[in-house]
Amino acid sequence: MSAMGQLKAIYHMVLSPIRGESHQERLDSFYSGQAEHYDETRQKMLHGRDELFTDLPAPEAGQWVDLGCGTARNVEAWGDRLTNFQQATLVDLSESLLGIAGKRVEKNGWQNVKLLHADATKVEIEPESVDVLTFCYSLTMIPNWWDAVDHALTLLKPGGTIGVVDFYVSKKYPAEGHASHSWFRRQFWPVWFSSDNVHPNPDLLPYLETRFETVSLNEQAGKIIMIPFLRIPYFRFVGRKRG
């Protein structure tokens, strides 16, 4: 990416005002000016995505749904295992990002991949038909993220797998065995990201652990391009629908 392209993308990430009455309008206000350079700017910021897909199963003739798919970059994380799926459904509310996703699907000739412009909290997919469902840095951008998690639960088959990677901050007193973040981290990161309508939340990870059986959990921190001397906490969660 050219220096001018990077500066343009960073401007839209940090300084460009976000306008709109609805969540969809605000998403496209935020992404329309940076969709073309989204992948280049996020590659060193959205940590753990490839590792998440390594941890996930890819059942033969299965169904995979990616809620908040962005530019469809996650499809590439499956590698050759993508062909295991009978159907891969990519869902996003941003028309700007779906435009980039459509170009990627067409370029790669993925015959088992389809795109849906829909709200993750109420996308119309047959209940209990999904084998694997993922949220990659999308839940922190959904205002009513708990509804998206609950809806995902209805879409998964009993025993189906959910994979989530996202920013977060810990509770002041997290459960035993979980990471504990400093007062600075717990206060700074929600404020920093709020201008972009991204909300690292202390309740997100505990809610996932309540709704799903935990298969694996990894809590880390990584660099972001705007503040290279600080580390933003993120987690990878793999869960299973009970029953």
Specify the pTM: 0.85
Average pLDDT over residues 131-142: 97
Query: 177-206 pLDDT, tens per residue?
Result: 999 999 999 999 999 988 888 999 999 999
Spatial distance between the Cα atoms of 113 and 65, rounded to a whole number of angstroms = 10
Spatial distance between the Cα atoms of 165 and 136, rounded to a whole number of angstroms = 5
Nearest CA among 121, 112, 64, 63 for reference residue 92: 121
Query: 78-102 pLDDT, tens per residue?
Result: 999 999 999 999 999 999 899 999 9
User: In this predicted structure, what is the pLDDT of residue 11?
Assistant: 44
Query: 107-121 pLDDT, tens per residue?
Result: 999 999 999 999 999
Provide the total of helices (H) and of strands (E) in the chain, helices listed first: 9, 7
The per-residue pLDDT of the chain, averaged, comes to: 87
User: In this predicted structure, what is the pLDDT of residue 40?
Assistant: 54
Instruction: Using alpha carbons, list the distances in angstroms from residue 232 to 4, 174, 225.
Output: 26, 17, 11
Nearest CA among 193, 143, 134 for reference residue 168: 193
Spatial distance between the Cα atoms of 47 and 23, rounded to a whole number of angstroms = 25
Classified by CATH at the fold level, domain 46-240 comes out as Rossmann fold (3.40.50)
Spatial distance between the Cα atoms of 147 and 11, rounded to a whole number of angstroms = 31
* Exposed/middle/buried for residue 55 (C-beta within 10 Å: 0-12, 13-18, 19+): middle
Spatial distance between the Cα atoms of 15 and 199, rounded to a whole number of angstroms = 17
Q: For the residues of 98-144, what is the DSSP string, one character each?
A: HHHHHHHHHHHT-TTEEEEE--TTT----TT-EEEEEEES-GGG-TT
Spatial distance between the Cα atoms of 48 and 166, rounded to a whole number of angstroms = 9
On the question of pLDDT at 68 being above 50, the answer is yes
| More confident call, 233 vs 9 | 233
Average pLDDT over residues 204-218: 98
Spatial distance between the Cα atoms of 32 and 97, rounded to a whole number of angstroms = 8
User: In this predicted structure, what is the pLDDT of residue 47?
Assistant: 93
Residue 22 in tokens: 């609805």
